[in-house]
Amino acid sequence: MAISAQKQTKSFSHRHLLSTEKLTVPEIDFLLDLADKNADSPPQAEKKRQVLRGRTHINLFFESSTRTQASFELAAKRLGADVMNMNVATSSVSKGETLVDTAITLNAMRPDIIVVRHHSAGAVELLSQKVDCSVINAGDGAHQHPTQALLDALTIRRAKGRISGLTVAICGDILHSRVARSNVDVLNTMGARVRLIAPSTLLPAKPERLGVEVFTDMWKGIEGADVVMMLRLQRERMESSYVPSVREYFHFFGLDHEKLARAKPDALVMHPGPMNRGVEIASTIADDPRSVIREQVEMGVAVRMAVLEALAMNLPKPETIKS
Amino acid sequence: MSGATPMSPSSVTAPRKPSGPTAFINARLVDPETNRDEPGGLFVKDGVIADLGASLRRNAPEGATVVDCKGRMLCPGLVDAQVFTGEPGYEHRETLKTASHSAAAGGVTTMIVMPDTDPVIDQVSLVDFIQRRARDNAIVHIHTMAAVTKGLKGEEMTEIGLLKRAGAVAFSNGKTSVANTRVMKNALLYGRDFGALIVHHTEDPYLAGSGAMNSGEVATRLGLPGISKVAEIIMIERDVRLVEMTGGRYHAATISCPESLAIIRQAKARGLAVTCGVSINHLTLNENDIGSYRTFLKVRPPLRKEDDRAAMVNAVANGEIDTIVSSHDPQDADVKRRPFAEAADGAAGLETLLAAALRLYHSGDVALPTLLRPLTVNPAKLFGLPGGRLQKGAPADLILVDLDEPWVVNKDLLRSRSKNSPFDEAKMQGRVLRTLVDGETVFEYAPGR
């Protein structure tokens, strides 16, 4: 599979995947095509297991995660890698080690790929400068979450057959969202029309500079959308006075049938998870046929396999591969 | 928001039996919105102004009850944008009902009540409570502001969107300022999405400290801790910066010195949605009136120097003051009959609002329509209310006023449940003879009372 991918004119020649900002259309197409094939082949397919055989894959998650970490672990294992999950809570990090020292220590163990999630924007890039292996950003603060945007793009492309020309409304806590930022990059690059919907208190400064349309009125923002992407609202936002209450937030910015009726009849409903039912999305909509939230999780593994495969092509050849 | 269409605040007045058509003839019609000041007549039918003008001066439509105004002023009823009552929580001080009777006697046909109650008006159900109590018990229109922060604590903002839909006409932190700049920023920013007006008491609480009156010579001589006007100036300066940053709508509830006015003036010149009000107390009284520790003159912001008062009057004359409010704040003897620094703030003022304001007219400082504008049409527009105008089709919220009738305030005759009037024993010139709400007479002056 990896060999056939190399034959394509499209390619991916980066050592790391830190951001979606500079990804080009051929690069994204390449990753999505690869992921598409992964999604269609049975997970038990044995030949895939050669791609990362003998490679060491470290999941370094400074923030707790269920789906992203599990998804990367599964993807790496299906490609035959040796996977190590660093438990930050019980590691030297909790003893006060700096991020750079952690990077240097891990590098000494000569891993091939490190997947990092960190609560500070820019932390993953900092770490990538201190190691010799490939680094994948699995979320850094409110900055980037590239694999999420790619799996969202794949989900949309598989459901709609295209991304270009679609109107995608991203609604919720844009201010704190790395998912939104990565999605804006990928969707804009692929030619979608992106709208951001949020109360002004949950919008960053100058959002329109990202090349999007901005709405503070969800009824207007969702009008005619092909895709409605809901973001998680953390309950801490209530205490910090970004929004007054769950009740008010759901009333004005929660996805219910009344608001969804303004989107196109065949609009996709997406959510990166974990969902707060009754806060940003009505329970019945989460389970509606228009919802592709489960497909997103499924595409997560396929996309992460594709990213790992693409990066593996650029790794130095291992001297010996034990069979 | 389209799905959250702000409802125009519904009229919340006790249902009255409909009265027949009434013609007011031989009146001096004064409409502050159009600058009309001419002899004429006005015809009221079905609770609204059906017709008005010079041609109706002597001609009453057939079948109408005729009221001869004998040349006296007929003008829109006052819209008082800052009234504190004690309902719910302190009904022994004032209820919506007693306040409405006091209002009617003072020529106030619409009052906006403040959220400083117990419980605080910070939830939809409490806005509804005020509306229902007003509908069932009050004889003038009552609208409510809602708290901008939960419990008026200045920490978390309230459900501004839902409260506005429920009919809250504005959002206020009552008698306190939101000290946390970030919370205030978020309230202005979030409120902007809903077109919400934030009305703010402007006093830096840390700088004001435990001050009891205006800082200066009088405070020094009386040995009372002072409140510098800088506490007000800083807060307004801060707020205006936040309005500029957020694009919110902002009204400084009661300013008291020319420095504050200068900030507001500049903000308006920069095109910001900034307005300001002043209380009748700060237009007619100064710190010297405190005399020997008269606690009925203990108010917030504190009464300032005569220069400040004169500057505020001048601002009214220039049309720079958007609203004049009574800041009616009923307090009982228990909390007023105390040493000055320990006494409660607040002065009753609904019933004396118009008479006290007319002092500025009689002194020649302010022309009549100019004086009435911030008492009627300006607050009506600012808060999105229908009254405050002499206009065909407008609600017949009217007052008939004898501009010259002299009288002496006797606090024991005031209708408010609390008697803490700073104007007790003051000589007034000008009196409300009749007050109409939706065409219905809710007050008529009976000599001897």
pLDDT at B18: 56
- Given a contact cutoff of 8 angstroms between Cβ atoms, the answer to whether A126 and A99 are in contact is yes
Q: Taking Cα atoms as reference points, which of B156, B203, B145, B208 lies closest to residue B184? A: B156
Cβ within 8 Å of residue B174, ≥6 positions away: B114, B115, B116, B120, B147, B152, B201
Q: How many alpha carbons fall within 13 Å on the CB side of residue B403?
A: 20
In the predicted structure, residue A65 carries a pLDDT above the cut 90: no
CB-nearest partner of B183 from A216, A241, A243: A241
**Distance from chain centroid for Cα B86:** 16
What's the rounded mean pLDDT across residues A33-48? 84
Interchain contact, B2 vs A245, CB within 8 Å: no
Cβ within 8 Å of residue A91, ≥6 positions away: none
**Which pLDDT band holds residue A234 (cuts at 50, 70, 90)?**
confident
What is the Rg, in whole angstroms, of the alpha carbon atoms belonging to chain A? 20
C-alpha–C-alpha distance, residues A136 and A144, integer Å: 11
| 3-class DSSP assignment, residue B67 | strand
- Given a contact cutoff of 8 angstroms between Cβ atoms, the answer to whether B302 and B230 are in contact is no
Please tell me if residue B22 touches chain A, with a CB cutoff of 8 Å. no
Structure-block tokens of residue B358 = 């007319």
pLDDT at A77: 94
Cβ within 8 Å of residue A18, ≥6 positions away: A124, A125, A128, A135, A136, A137, A144, A146
| 3-class DSSP assignment, residue B398 | strand
Q: Taking Cα atoms as reference points, which of B161, B160, B182 lies closest to residue B172? A: B160
Q: Which of A174, A200, A215, A237 to mutate to test the interface with B (most CBs of B within 10 A)?
A: A200
Mean pLDDT of chain A: 91
Q: State which amino acid sits at residue B195.
A: G
C-alpha–C-alpha distance, residues A129 and A146, integer Å: 18
In the predicted structure, residue A301 carries a pLDDT above the cut 70: yes
- Given a contact cutoff of 8 angstroms between Cβ atoms, the answer to whether A310 and A291 are in contact is no
Q: Which residues of A lie inside 8 Å of B (Cβ-Cβ)?
A: 199-201, 216-220, 238-239, 241-245, 247-248, 251-252, 258-259
Please give the DSSP secondary-structure letter assigned to residue A92: G
Q: Which of A171, A202, A241, A259 to mutate to test the interface with B (most CBs of B within 10 A)?
A: A241
- Given a contact cutoff of 8 angstroms between Cβ atoms, the answer to whether A10 and A310 are in contact is no
Q: For the sheet containing A113-118, what is the strand order? A: A82-87, A56-61, A113-118, A134-140
Sort out which chain B residues have CB atoms less than 8 A from A245's CB and list them. 159
For B73, the enclosing helix (H) or strand (E) is: strand B73-76
Structure-block tokens of residue A255 = 């996805």
Interchain contact, B4 vs A248, CB within 8 Å: no
Sort out which chain A residues have CB atoms less than 8 A from B192's CB and list them. 200
C-alpha–C-alpha distance, residues B197 and B177, integer Å: 15
Interchain contact, A252 vs B1, CB within 8 Å: yes
CB-nearest partner of A252 from B155, B161, B186: B161
DSSP-assigned states of every residue in A120-180: STTHHHHHHTT-SSEEEEEEETTTB-HHHHHHHHHHHHHHHS--TT-EEEEES--TT-HHH
C-alpha–C-alpha distance, residues A168 and A162, integer Å: 12
Q: Which of B190, B192, B194, B244 to mutate to test the interface with A (most CBs of A within 10 A)?
A: B190
C-alpha–C-alpha distance, residues B172 and B177, integer Å: 9
Give percent of chain A with pLDDT exceeding 90.
78
The sign of the CA dihedral B405, B408, B413, B416 is positive
Structure-block tokens of residue A314 = 């650029």
C-alpha–C-alpha distance, residues B447 and B436, integer Å: 18
CB-nearest partner of A220 from B2, B157, B187: B2
Structure-block tokens of residue B433 = 């003879």
Q: Taking Cα atoms as reference points, which of A190, A182, A266 lies closest to residue A231? A: A182
The backbone region for A30, taken as left when phi is positive above 0, alpha when psi lies in -120 to 50, beta otherwise, is alpha
| 3-class DSSP assignment, residue A25 | helix
Structure-block tokens of residue B134 = 């007003």
pLDDT at A92: 65
Q: Taking Cα atoms as reference points, which of B428, B356, B449, B442 lies closest to residue B399? A: B442
CA dihedral B46, B51, B57, B61 (to 10 degrees): -60
Cβ within 8 Å of residue B128, ≥6 positions away: B166
CA dist B146 → A200, B91, B165, B196 (Å): 21, 19, 11, 11
Please tell me if residue B192 touches chain A, with a CB cutoff of 8 Å. yes
pLDDT at B1: 44
Give me the average pLDDT of each 10-residue run along chain B (449 residues).
43 56 96 95 96 90 91 97 96 96 97 97 97 97 98 96 98 97 97 98 96 95 96 98 98 98 98 98 96 94 97 98 97 92 95 97 96 98 96 96 95 92 94 96 83
Whole-model pTM above 0.80? yes
C-alpha distance from A63 to closest chain B C-alpha (Å) = 27
CB-nearest partner of B190 from A201, A220, A238: A201
Q: A185-223 burial by CB neighbour count: b if 16+ within 10 A, else e?
A: bbbbbbebbbbbbbbbbbbbeebeebebebbbbbbebbb
pLDDT at A86: 85
- Given a contact cutoff of 8 angstroms between Cβ atoms, the answer to whether B197 and B251 are in contact is yes
DSSP-assigned states of every residue in A172-195: S--TT-HHHHHHHHHHHHTT-EEE
C-alpha–C-alpha distance, residues A177 and A272, integer Å: 11
CB-nearest partner of A200 from B2, B158, B193: B193
Residues A174-211 pLDDT 10s: 999 999 999 999 999 999 999 999 999 999 999 999 99
